[in-house]
Amino acid sequence: MIIAENLEQTYTSGGRPLTVLKDINLSIEPRGFVAIVGPSGSGKTTLLGLLAGLDLPSQGTVTLDGQNLSELSEDERAMLRAEKLGFVFQSFQLIPTLTALENVLIPLELQSSDASLNGARAERRACELLERVGLSDREHHYPAQLSGGEQQRVGLARAFANQPRILMADEPTGNLDADTGHRAIDVMVRLNEEEGTTLVLVTHDTEIASRAHRIIKLAGGRIVSDERGGAGGAGGAGGAAGASSS
Ligand code: ADP
Ligand code: MG
């Protein structure tokens, strides 16, 4: 369960404060599938970063499973994330000196206490994960040798490597063509339906928005609508989200 209360984020740029999120109140239930939509610059990436504990808010609190993230050190937040949360960055953030397989192995190796015992198994799992996102034949490629869409899919595989209870992704299909995007969405929806993984996806993708259980729309740093539909049944809301694409 994620609870955000009275969140506000203010940046100082050029010596002047700029409030980019304000009055954000929301809670996300376990097994939920939430799409966050809104025009470019409306604060989606900032909000996702706060919900994940990647950044701390200027004001307000984010509570993850009862733990106020502002009360934790940076290391403690990183540990909590490693335990509970997978995150797909808009800019991928793969490690350039590691291959696709090695990038996916990182969270698996961080989790296993006895690396030698679990090494072979971790590698098998990493191969499976890459296969799930359609990259079996790119295991030994470095990020620079992969297209943007392929890097994004490596980022996806890495994010759900440890079977996190919560998967957050920033425009996970933004660099994918329709077909590959479709497959990536299917992988995430299946995680939600079969394993109960909570999904929080920032997106312009009308297919994602239409399959989400709930659509939160931001504009100018505020929540302007928060609509719940049936599972995959929010056809009208999905259309509205599509119209908001920038
Ligand atoms: P979105 O993901 O919806 O496009 P962002 O959350 O990335 O929006 O950004 C919201 C606003 O905050 C933008 O106007 C952006 O310029 C500003 N912003 C984001 N990060 C910073 C930062 N580190 N310093 C100053 N301004 C920032
Ligand atoms: Mg963004």
**Calpha distance 148→150 (Å, rounded):** 5
Domains of the chain, with CATH numbers?
A: 2-239 (3.40.50.300)
Among 8, 9, 10, 11, say which to mutate for ligand 1: greatest number of ligand atoms within 8 Å of CB: 11
pLDDT tens digits, one per residue of 66-93: 999 999 999 999 999 988 999 999 889 9
Closest CA to 77 of 54, 44, 43: 54
**Ligand 2 centroid – CA 72 distance (Å):** 25
**Ligand 1 centroid – CA 45 distance (Å):** 7
Among 46, 58, 201, say which to mutate for ligand 1: greatest number of ligand atoms within 8 Å of CB: 46
In whole numbers, what is the pLDDT of the chain averaged over residues?
A: 89
pLDDT tens digits, one per residue of 134-165: 999 999 999 999 999 999 999 999 999 988 99
Tallying the residues shown for the chain, one arrives at 246
**Residue where the block lists tokens 């470095």:** 142
Ligand sitting nearest the alpha carbon of 174: 2
**Calpha distance 206→3 (Å, rounded):** 26
